[in-house]
Amino acid sequence: MAVKVRVPATTANLGPGFDSLGMALQLYNEIELELIDQGLQFEVTGVGADMIPATSENVIYKAVQCVFDQLGRRRPGLRLRLHNAVPVTRGLGSSAAAIVGGLVAANEVCHRPLSSDHLLELAVRMEGHPDNVAAALLGGIVVSGRVGGKTRHVKLPVPRDLVCVVVVPEVPLPTKESRKVLPGSVPFEDAVHNVNRVALLLGALATGDLELVGAAMEDVLHEPYRMSLIPGMSRAAEAGRESGALGVVLSGSGPTLIAFCREGTESPVGPAIARAWSEAGLKASWMVLRPDLRGVTVTGVPHLEPMGPPAR
C-alpha cells in the first residue's frame, strides 16, 4: 500500500507567543510512502534537496519508524519520496513538516490506528515543543502547551483578510544556534510585557481585529536577542512596517521575517524588506502566503515506479 500526504509550512511564536503559538501556511511538502519487503529507497527533490539526507538519518524516516515502534509492529522496508518546498533552517517549520508528514503517512498505511491527539504527542516528543507540529497537524492558528504531561491545544479563528509576506534571507539559522543566544532569565517587566501582548493577540485573533493583531505582536523575550544574529534584521523589520505591514516578526527562530498584512496592502512589503536587507549585504526572496486552515492532508494513493536498489 502506498500513500501521499501534503504537509504545510508553519510559523511559530507570532511575536510574543514564544513556544506557544503557531500558524500553518499555504506552502507544502509532499511525501509519498510505500511499504516494501526490505531496505530503504529514498528520493528527495525540490528546495534545499542537497541539504536533506536521503538516508535513515532523515527525520521523515525516523517519524515513520516511530509509528511502527509505537504500534509494536515489525519495521518494514520503505520507499519514500519527498518533494520539498519548505526552506530548510529558515524558521518555517521544515522539521515539523517532516515529523508530521512521516507520522501521518505511516499511520495511514497502518489503517489509522492512532488518533490525531496521539500523533500530536509523538510529534511533540520528537520535536521537543508543540508550536510548529500542532499547527502543521491541525492547520490554522493553534495555541498549545504541555499541561500535566499532556499536550493541550486550542485552534483559533484566522482573520479572513489576513495575508502574510514571508521574506527569506539567503543565510541559514538552525534553531539550536538561535536558542543559544536566549538569556537564562529576563526582567520581570519584560515577562509582564509579553503576557500582556499575548493576551491582546489572542483577543485580537478571536475577534478578527487585524489592527490590534499588529499592535500586539511586539516581543521582548526572544526577538531582540535573535535579531542580533542576522545583519540588518531590525532595520528590515522596520522597513516592512513602514511599507504598510500591520506587524513584522521573526518566523520561529528566524532568520525569516513574516509580515502580517491586510489583504490588498501586501504588495510593497516584500520588496521593502528585501531592499533593506540588500543594503546590509544580504540577498532575500519573498513569498505572499495565506494561512492554511486544514493542516496535513492525505492527498492520494499513488502508483510508485521502481526507484532502484535499496540503500545500504
User: Nearest 10 degrees: CA dihedral of 104, 158, 246, 9?
Assistant: 10
Mean pLDDT confidence for 124-143: 97
Task: Say what the pLDDT of residue 312 is.
Answer: 34
Cell 515577562 locates to 191
The C-alpha cell of 14 is what?
507570532
β-strand partners of 307? none
**Residue 82 scores a pLDDT above 50:** yes
Looking at residue 305, its pLDDT comes to 45
Nearest-angstrom CA–CA distance, 99 and 118: 13
CATH superfamily, domain at 162-289: GHMP kinase, C-terminal domain (3.30.70.890)
The residue with greater pLDDT, 253 or 84, is 84
**C-alpha cell belonging to residue 131:** 508550536
Whether the full predicted model's pTM is greater than 0.85, yes or no, is yes
Model pLDDT for residues 204-227, shown as the tens digit of each residue: 999 999 999 999 999 999 999 998
**pLDDT for position 304:** 44
- Decide if pLDDT at 307 tops 70: no
C-alpha cell at position 79: 520507499
Q: Are 40 and 311 in contact (CB under 8 A)?
A: yes
**Assigned CATH topology for domain 2-156+293-300:** Ribosomal Protein S5; domain 2 (3.30.230)
- Domain residue extents for the chain: 2-156+293-300, 162-289
Look at residue 204 in the predicted model and tell me its pLDDT. 95
Task: For residue 122, give the C-alpha cell.
Answer: 509523538
When pLDDT is cut at 50, 70 and 90, the band that residue 310 belongs to is very low
Give the ranges where the chain is alpha helix by DSSP (H): 59-71, 94-109, 116-127, 131-138, 175-180, 188-207, 210-215, 223-226, 233-242, 269-279
Contacts of 180 by beta carbon, 8 Å cutoff, 6+ apart = none
Which of 92-101, 140-149, 164-173 is the least confident region? 164-173
In three-state secondary structure terms, 165 is strand
User: Residues near 17 by Cβ (< 8 Å), separated by ≥ 6?
Assistant: 131, 143, 198, 201
Is the pLDDT assigned to residue 301 strictly greater than 90? Answer: no
User: Binning pLDDT at 50, 70 and 90, where does residue 311 land?
Assistant: very low
Residue with cell 515513520: 64
